Structure 1
Amino acid sequence: MREISLDRLRTLVEVADRGSFADAARALHLAPPTVSLHIAELEVRVNAPLLSRKRGQVQPTAIGEVMVERARKLLADAEQALDDIQRQVQGLSGRVRLGASTGAIAHLLPQALDVLRQDHPGIDVQVAVLTSHETLVGLADGALDIGLVALPQSQVAGLAIKPWRRDPVMAFLPAHWASPARITPAWLAAQPLILNDATTRLSRQTTEWFAAGGHHPVPRIQLNYNDAIKSLVAAGYGATLLPHEASAAPSDARITMRPLRPALWRELGIAHRAGHVERSTQHVLDVLWMLRAK
């Protein structure tokens, strides 16, 4: 079935509004025979007359009135679609799909979203809680636009992965515990522990940190939600190792933070598809880079 051209519908609306083929031709910058051809093609397509000529005045038929009404809606929808797309091309609006771990989402991402809301309120950021591996797969498949991933990562064809932040991993302890100024693997391994689950990069890092000192502690519980872990620490259930962002809100008064010996760092990177970056995505990237830390 042959589709109806929007140009033909625009011609029909113009003739109906002006009541004249000649006036419609001038308004559309078309030759009068072209206007007549457009109307004839539409009438052949619907197999019914759409316009009638009475006393020199061109008016829609009953079927023509329905066609004109529908044509106005279709033309308005088409104009709105083009306007929406143009706004996205200009970076004034758009949807950006971002994948990140719970650690990044908890403190870092809200800061970026607050700045974005003020500077670019038309941009909608959709956040998915994913592991770094899942995020990179989503980027490669086109399901995501930006990813916050743990480093190091192997290079992935078609993706750009750049270092973003380097934050210290600290010991979070119940405040009522007596503890040394710097926490060693030997001291911490003797305490009840609440650690990240084995699917996370931080879990592998902390396992290696303990192992370097010859320790292989078994945690009381493993979670993948840092705020839930901190709540358990505050309740005195155990100690944990978590990254600490300098811009994060102060810890609960029931929690004491201590640096590690040897030091341990959580490194994050920003990943996105290489090549052309849409403006809305670039605006989100720019805000994220403002939160860069060394």
Structure 2
Amino acid sequence: MREISLDRLRTLVAIADRGSFADAARALHLAPPTVSLHIAELEARIGAPLLSRKRGHVKPSAIGEALVERARRLLADAEQTLDDIQRQVQGLEGRVRLGAATGVIAHLLPQALEVLRKDHPAIDIQVAVLTSQESLSRLADGTLDVGLIALPQPPVAGLVIKPWRRDPVMAFVPAHWPCPARVTPAWLAAQPLILNDTTTRLSRLTTEWFATAGHHPAPRIQLNYNDAIKSLVAAGYGAALLPHEATTPLPDKRIVTRPLRPALWRRLGIAHRAGHVERSTQYVLDVLWDLRLA
């Protein structure tokens, strides 16, 4: 079955509005025979006359009136659809799907979201709590647009992975514990520990930090939610190793933070698909990039 062309419907509406084939042809910048052909094709498709001529004036028939009414809605919807898509192309609207771990979402992402809300309020940012590997997998299969991931990562075909920021890992210790000015693996290994679980990059970093000094401590508990870990530290349950972002508010007064010796760093990267980047996604990438030194 042949579909009805929007161009043919636009011609019918123009004739109904102007009451003349010639006036419709001028308004649409078409030759008069083309206008006549459009109506003939529509009538053949519908199987009924759509226009009647009375005293030199062209008016829609009853069937024509019904089609004109529907045609106006279809043309308006088509125009609105094109406008909406064009706004997305321009980056004025759109949806950006972003994945990150809980710590990044809690302490770094809110700054970016606040800037985007002010500067690009029509961009819908959808945030998912994902591990680095989950983010990379979803970027590769097209169900994610931006991933904030732990580094280092092996190259992934079709993805761009850029270093984003580096934050020191600090010892978070209950304030009532006697604690050295700089925390060593030997001292910390002798304390009750609350560490990230083994699914996280931070767990591997801290395990290597201890192992380099010959220590392999067993934590009291392992979690992958940093704020929960801090709450347990504040309660005196144990000490923790966590990244400390410069913009993060000072921890609970029941917690003290100490630098590590040797120093340890948590490195993060930004990942997205290679090739064309939609403008709304680029705006998000630009705002995140500005946080690299925050």
**Fold-level similarity (TM above 0.5):** yes
Q: Secondary structure at the match of 2:199?
A: coil
Deviation at 1:109, TM superposition (A): 0.8
Distance 2:73 2:188 in 1: 69
Is the contact made by 1:167 and 1:293 (CA closer than 8 Å) also made in structure 2? no
Match of 1:50 in 2: 50
1:30 and 1:129 mapped to 2: Cα distance?
Answer: 55
The gaps in structure 2 that reach 5 residues or longer are none
- RMSD of Structure 2 on Structure 1 (CA): 1.4
Q: Quick one: distance in 2 between partners of 1:222 and 1:45?
A: 70
Query: Residue 28 of structure 1 corresponds to which residue in structure 2?
Result: 28
Structure 2 partner of 1:223? 223
Specify the code of the residue in structure 1 equivalent to 2:49. P
Distance in 1 separating the partners of 2:236 and 2:102: 23
1:229-256: CA deviation from partner (whole Å, max 9, x where unpaired) = 1122122222111100001122111211
Deviation at 1:219, TM superposition (A): 1.6
CA distance in 2, matches of 1:16, 1:230: 71
CA deviations on 1:6-38 (whole Å, 9 max, x unpaired) are: 111111111111121111111001111111111
Shift of 1:131: 1.0
Q: Give the match's secondary structure for 1:7.
A: helix
Shift of 1:111: 0.5
| Structure 2 Cα separation of the partners of residues 70 and 253 of structure 1 | 67
- Which residue does the alignment assign to 2:208? 208
2:193 pairs with 1:193: yes
Name 1:142's counterpart in structure 2.
Answer: 142
Other-structure match for 2:242: 242
Greater mean alpha carbon deviation, residues 257-266 or residues 65-74: 65-74
Identity of aligned residues (%): 82
Matches within 5 A, 1:1-294: 1-293=1-293
Structure 1: 4+ residue segments shifted above 4 A? none
CA–CA distance in structure 1, aligned partners of residues 35 and 130 of structure 2? 56
The TM-score with structure 1 as length reference comes to 0.96
- Paired AA for residue 53 in structure 1: R
Which amino acid in structure 1 is aligned with residue 234 of structure 2? A
Alpha-carbon distance in structure 1 between the residues aligned to 2:144 and 2:116: 18
- Quote the Cα distance in structure 2 between the aligned partners of 1:44 and 1:256: 83
Shift of 1:166: 0.5
How far apart, in 2, do the equivalents of 1:108 and 1:89 lie? 28
1:287 Cα deviation (Å)? Answer: 0.7
Aligned equivalents of 1:170, 1:159: Cα separation in 2:
31
- d(CA) in 2 for partners of 1:52, 1:68: 14
Question: What do the CA deviations read for 1:117-168 (whole angstroms, capped 9, x no partner)?
Answer: 1112221111111111111111111211111111111111121111110000
Deviates more, 1:197-206 or 1:66-75: 66-75
Instruction: Find the aligned partners of 2:52 and 2:203 in 1 and give their Cα distance.
Output: 78
Aligned pairs, how many? 294
* Counterpart secondary structure, 1:64: helix
Letter of the structure 2 residue corresponding to residue 42 of structure 1: L
SS in 2 for 1:228: helix
Find the aligned partners of 1:231 and 1:18 in 2 and give their Cα distance: 74
**Letter of the 2:182 counterpart:** R
Once the two structures are superposed, residues 210-242 of structure 1 have per-residue CA deviations (whole angstroms, 9 ceiling, x without a partner) of 112222222222111111111221222221111
SS of 1:242's partner is: strand
Distance 1:148 1:266 in 2: 13
Q: Deviations over 1:161-185 (max 9, x none)?
A: 1111000001111222221111111
Unaligned runs of 5+ in 1: none
